[in-house]
Amino acid sequence: MSTNPVPDPMVLAGRPFPLGAHPEAGGVRFAVASSGAEAVQVCLIGQEGDERRVELTERTFGVWHGVVHGVLPGQRYGYRVHGPYDPGRGLRHNPAKLLVDPYATRITGGLTDLDAALGYQGDPMTGPPSVTDSLGSVPLSVVTSPGGPDTGVRPEVPFEESVIYELHVRGFTRNHPDVPERQRGTYLGLAHPAVLEHLARLGVTAVELIPVHTFVDEPSLVRAGRHNYWGYSPLGYFAPHAAYASEPGREVEEFRTMVSSLHAVGIEVIVDVVFNHTCEAGIEGPTLSFRGLDAPAYYAQDGDGHGLDITGCGNTLDAGSPTVVRMVTDSLRYWSQELGVDGFRFDLASVLGRPGAGPFDPNAALLTAIACDPVLSRAKLIAEPWDATGEGYRVGAFGVQWAEWNGRYRDTVRDFWRGAVGVRDLAYRLSGSSDLYSDDGRRPWASINFVTAHDGFTLRDLVSYNDKHNEDNGEDNRDGTNDNRSWNCGAEGETQDAGVLALRARQARNLLATLLLSTGTPMLTAGDESWRTQGGNNNAYCQDNAVSWVDWTLTEAARDLRAFTQRVVGIRAASPALRQPQFFDGRITQSGDPDLVWLRPDGTELAETDWFDDARRTLGVWIDGSNCLSRTKAGELVSDHSWLLVLHAGADPVGFTLPSAEYGPVFEPVLDTGTPDGAPGDTSPLPSGAHIQVPGRTTLLLRVPRHG
């Protein structure tokens, strides 16, 4: 194949911005940032693997750019960057390595030869640069045309009305019997009417897609012959992952079609984005893009050229670098404006507030740039508020426009229902975590409440295993957290014991009811409502198989739990008082009662000393709906029924006295986690002051109808 640079190409200067490859003027304008490069070539790759190298001679603002005539959409390309190779200064330019364009909107191929992609020989710090050409062994960028299928009208669901459903594009439909085989595990699979009907019936308002940026398996998995199923190993921040397209090369169009289909049924699309590290791993990893273009501009490094790793993934993108700030915000705007995405969940988001891997600053450049951007400020912004270090655990510390995965909510609710803690911290979590979010101007919906997520046990496994069982991951069960706060209900793993199975189902209903009836934004994990198990694997990141795929077989247990979930989501949706957009503050409402009252089993308000009784396993929550501060779309306040929520985590039954007449004349049973679908066995209204028996490990919800 030809590898000689074109000596005198007919290349126009073009403009430096926007970065990437853009068809225009009878060709394509290429623009790539590399402040340390001495020369940059765009390499046009033919169908047979032949290569044409065109030198970009214009450099503006550290951007190399030029318009190459005769190039059409669909052209595969990459970059070769000439410049200093000095690992001690963090410089790793090597023209033998063909580099993916960081701004490519489509990427094809994969990493087929790890050794060919290594930029060094021998030791990564002291060895000479590799002379092996990586063409044919690494992914390629592809020129694309702008536009595509319409992404539909954004649902614009208010945050306080949101119910988020975290799912994996491939795993969610890979086994779906109603989805055509060719579309299973794809963007179009998620857009299939049977799938949309399930999501709509469930009542979720947003799907949160774990990574759909183009990703590449990290070196350790490549060498072990394994695959990164989750996708937290990004290569291209503008390109949808090609493997999720039903037709090769149409991933952009299919993604837009999926978004449009979800929007059509009122469901928003949130994507999980990984701007804290890349697939290039540590300095011993491959040179695929960022490292070869301008390592010091992309990665946090020390003074000796070593990478700083606060992600646990080998490298850390430098949140203080203008190159990174520009790339991240450009990427987010592209996904929002061009692909129709409604919001973003930021993986290990604390890294974005730690320029140079230093101390966390909620007003750091990258976090501020995102929050202040006129496009992104209208999107739902959700932070995973921790990284791989103690300094990075920042639950409650992000800025006013950020919602956060509330890890304290998860831990407290798990602990309460397994009988490990009292009710003191639980009260904060049930009422929106005001201790974390009220002092900086945020609302209760800033707390993304969850009890399970992709990372950890499924709901079924949470009540079926005391310990992780990750042997299939090939790491001798060393991977994954040991802090699961789970309880197997009397037997480890699968069992035929009817008593254990009944208790597990009951505990699952308690956890779901608590999640969906708490103030804040609930997040469900795909398949939990259908009783999905991973066999005790709490870190199934490399399990692209039945361990991770949702099983759509509708067993009796799955049918019951699905019906229960639908019931509770429906109650929440119809009850503004249960999803209030403002924190409770003890204000006296129109009924003459406080907006929120915590009750003991005897029906009286908890005293201060009661909160410090760690043996307390029962809590009543009175919510006055006469002035719940929820509003219509026109901004008018709405009223609701008042509610009594009773949570009892003790193993034995407990007597509970309903509040006195000042709270309402009658209490109507609405939800009982003691039944398979949550429907109370007896819905007869109960008078105020009535004494009821609450069975062990049960959640009850009772309604006091509003007058008029």
Catalytic residues: 347, 384
8-state DSSP, 154: -
Helix axes 193-202, 556-574, angle to 10 degrees: 60
How many whole angstroms separate alpha carbon 324 and alpha carbon 309? 16
Cis bond upstream, residue 240 (ω within 30) = no
Structure tokens of 430?
């049930």
- What phi-psi label fits residue 538: left (phi over 0), alpha (psi between -120 and 50 degrees) or beta? alpha
Q: Specify whether the CB–CB gap between 284 and 324 falls below 8 A.
A: no
Beta pairing class for 76-82 and 85-86: unpaired
Instruction: State how far Cα 559 lies from the chain centre.
Output: 27
Q: Specify whether the CB–CB gap between 220 and 163 falls below 8 A.
A: no
Instruction: State how far Cα 162 lies from the chain centre.
Output: 15
Amino acid letter, 217: D
* Cβ neighbourhood burial of 516 (10 Å; 0-12, 13-18, 19+): buried
* Cβ neighbourhood burial of 38 (10 Å; 0-12, 13-18, 19+): exposed
Helix axes 498-517, 407-417, angle to 10 degrees: 140
Nearest Cα to Cα of residue 414 among 501, 492, 505, 508: 508
Tokens 């009750």 — which residue? Answer: 599
Structure tokens of 280?
């290039």
Helix axes 193-202, 251-264, angle to 10 degrees: 40
CB atoms within 10 A of CB 246: 18
